Structure 1
Amino acid sequence: MFKSRVFVLILAALVMSVLPASAQEEGESLVVYSGRNETLIAPILAQFTEETGVAVQVVYGDTAAVANQILEEGANSPADVYIGQDAGALGALSKAGALAPLPSDVLERVPDVFKSQQGEWVGLSARARVLVYNPTEVEALGLELPQSILDLTKPEYAGLVGWAPANASFQSNVTAMRVLLGDDVTAKWLADMVANGAVSYGSSNTNLNRAVASGEVVLGITNHYYMHNLKKQDPALNLEQTVFPAGDPGSLVNVAGAGVLATSAKPGLAQRLILYLLGSNAQTYFTEQTSEYPLVDGIAVNPALIPLDSIVQPEIDLSDLDDLQTTLAMIEASGALDQ
């Protein structure tokens, strides 16, 4: 998997909230390894602790690096639950036999397209890959928006496109391109993007979106929710987004998801956490606070989002995004990480 560092915190600093005395006496606790950013997931994990009295100790890091840590620890891993930023790392853990089957009362809550076909992980929220753009700069330059992610290598977009090649969501998108288009086409696209002057923002989609809004670059490929979260702070931000049409590889809809470790000594408690994250409180949190798409019926979607059913997604099984190591090697070989 990826050669990113896992930022493992001291265990005492990982408890997300103070337990009530009854829970301390019972000693109920879970260890979660999270590839989701702490600012996005920590509040709802703290709410789980507050409502259930179950302590949640969290190790945060890059999605793929945390998954790799689990594989390296093997049977000695203290993790009970893995929360990933994308389906690729979840698929890799499933392929390695590191995840346990989930019960039907968990699986039945999530549409088939957003869960493991082997029943070993489920999506918790959905995020669409989008093209963000600065409308003022697009008009001033007389640009037409590209109709495919593959079009971004054309001369008219030279030096105008931002990306975050060290980000796990981008890397999953590249894996999807490999599955859909083949390795040769994908490797050429990466190399052509670098040659066309694509501007790297490392792993930061937030910085990428800010750069588009400021006019530092004009276009960017990113997840949908970054723009919406920034516009909560500044509604006048000069930033819009669109999706590529006709099932384009650039219109991948991925998930943040979770699975229970096969080595967990507390599978029932671990499943309880996942059920909580699929409950109305958590699903509403993902919708209102992180601007993602809920995956459970009956939850109101943020009206500012592009309707999920209007996005023509590429036909792909998210479990097939599990070959992360080859993808990273391809991105590294292109020079995208050296920018």
Structure 2
Amino acid sequence: MRRPSLRRTIALVTAGFLLPSLAACGADEQAGGSEGGDSSLVIYSGRNEKLVQPLLDKLEKAVGTKVEVRYGDSAELAAQILEEGERTKAGLFFSQDAGALGALSKEGMLEKLPQATVEKVDRAYRGSDGDWVGLSGRVRVIAYNPDKVAADDVPDSVFDVVEPRWKGKVGFAPTNASFQAFVTGMRVLKGDDATRAWLEDLKANGAKTYAHNLATLDAVEAGEVSLGLVNHYYWYERVAEKGEDKVDAKLHFLPGKDPGALINVAGAGVLKGSGQSEAARKAVDYLLSKDAQTYFADKTKEYPLAAGVTSTVEGLPAFESLESPDIDLGELDSLQETLAMLQDVGLV
């Protein structure tokens, strides 16, 4: 069967959200995205405003260009860009995950970045066509409650959490974008049949669902579940806020390139035909600067991806020590298929 085009797939997935956001953009966008040229820069940001606005304020000063930011979900914004096409006002797409960037790349919506820019980041964390680049990384981990399970007994593979001994003891957030990206990664790495079987086993084993990663971490700390499938930085943010002695949960980083150890990235790409290319390229370079990379490390507890910048977060394993699976992150674009699978299994 021929796979549906990414333009149609993403648009269908997010259609319920897309119409209001398109209407909010106003009729002035009908004339195209080049208004103002390189004198201003419009950023569509899939990253949370509270999280990145201080950084984007600094970006405006560093680039010397007026910046307008429109916030939303990364997949929804990617769908909006695909619908707008050459009419888009966006000059730069700042995505929460690689899949949305991969979708735009495959539709030919992104410009190739200068080689000097993309080479600041390891090949594994940038687009294979050189048209988007990762800015910060986060790794999937298992949070566990040491009062419920000894450190040596925490599974070393996400496939082991569906064993009978973990019945009713695992928490996860099926509607969360990071979990869905992980499931997409498993589909790419292990195939649809193996992934569907794992999801069915997870449900049959009585895994408990939560609204998001923080709620999952809360459940682990409260002892509602023994294990939780989350991103690493939620724990480190909590430790920074409360102190490690006040945080009951611990983290286990999975070895052996397990699908459960997926590293996903937030990244950026320059939109074609926007008339904002020069400013957008400068913005990407700023986001890869030591100043911005240090912001990601210190404020969000993510891994900086630009060469020469390392995290100073206490207790965070070195990035090069992580045993993540080998995967083209651009292939995490098949969100529609993942959502359909989760719906079929009855998890969303």
Give me the TM-score of the superposition, normalised by structure 2.
0.87
- Return the offset for 1:29: 2.2
Task: Give the corresponding residue for 2:240.
Answer: 232
- Return the offset for 1:8: 4.4
- Return the offset for 1:72: 1.4
Kept in 2, the 8 Å contact 1:28–1:53? The answer is no
- Return the offset for 1:212: 1.4
SS in 2 for 1:172: helix
- Return the offset for 1:175: 1.1
Compute the RMSD of aligned alpha carbons.
Answer: 2.2
Q: Where do 5+ consecutive residues of structure 2 fail to align?
A: 1-9, 27-35
SS in 2 for 1:321: helix
Residues 123-154 of structure 1: CA deviation (Å, up to 9, x unaligned): 00111111111112224xx9921121111111
Q: Where do 5+ consecutive residues of structure 1 fail to align?
A: 13-24
Q: Please, which moves more after superposition, 298-307 or 188-197?
A: 298-307
Matched to 2:263, the amino acid is V
Kept in 2, the 8 Å contact 1:161–1:220? The answer is yes
Task: Give the corresponding residue for 1:211.
Answer: 219
Kept in 2, the 8 Å contact 1:64–1:168? The answer is no
List structure 1 runs of 4+ shifted beyond 4 angstroms: 6-12
Task: Give the corresponding residue for 1:21.
Answer: none
Task: Give the corresponding residue for 1:93.
Answer: 104
- Return the offset for 1:121: 0.3
CA–CA distance in 2 between the matches of 1:172 and 1:275? 26
- Return the offset for 1:26: 11
Does 1:261 pair with 2:275?
A: no
Q: 1:28 to 1:213 in 2, by over 3 A?
A: farther
Give me the TM-score of the superposition, normalised by structure 1.
0.89
Matched to 1:132, the amino acid is A
Q: Please, which moves more after superposition, 283-292 or 56-65?
A: 56-65
Kept in 2, the 8 Å contact 1:48–1:273? The answer is yes
CA–CA distance in 1 between the matches of 2:63 and 2:274? 19
Task: Give the corresponding residue for 2:5.
Answer: none
Map 1:153-164 to 2 at 5 A: 153-164=162-173
Map 1:30-49 to 2 at 5 A: 30-49=41-60
Task: Give the corresponding residue for 1:17.
Answer: none
Number of aligned positions between the proteins:
322
SS in 2 for 1:180: helix
Does 1:169 pair with 2:178?
A: yes
CA–CA distance in 1 between the matches of 2:51 and 2:227? 25
Task: Give the corresponding residue for 1:311.
Answer: 322
CA–CA distance in 1 between the matches of 2:81 and 2:325? 30
Give the structure with the higher percent helix.
Answer: 2
Matched to 2:223, the amino acid is G
Matched to 2:347, the amino acid is A
Identity of aligned residues (%): 45
Matched to 1:332, the amino acid is Q
Task: Give the counterpart of 2:287 among 277, 297, 304.
Answer: 277
Q: 1:55 to 1:213 in 2, by over 3 A?
A: farther
- Return the offset for 1:178: 0.7
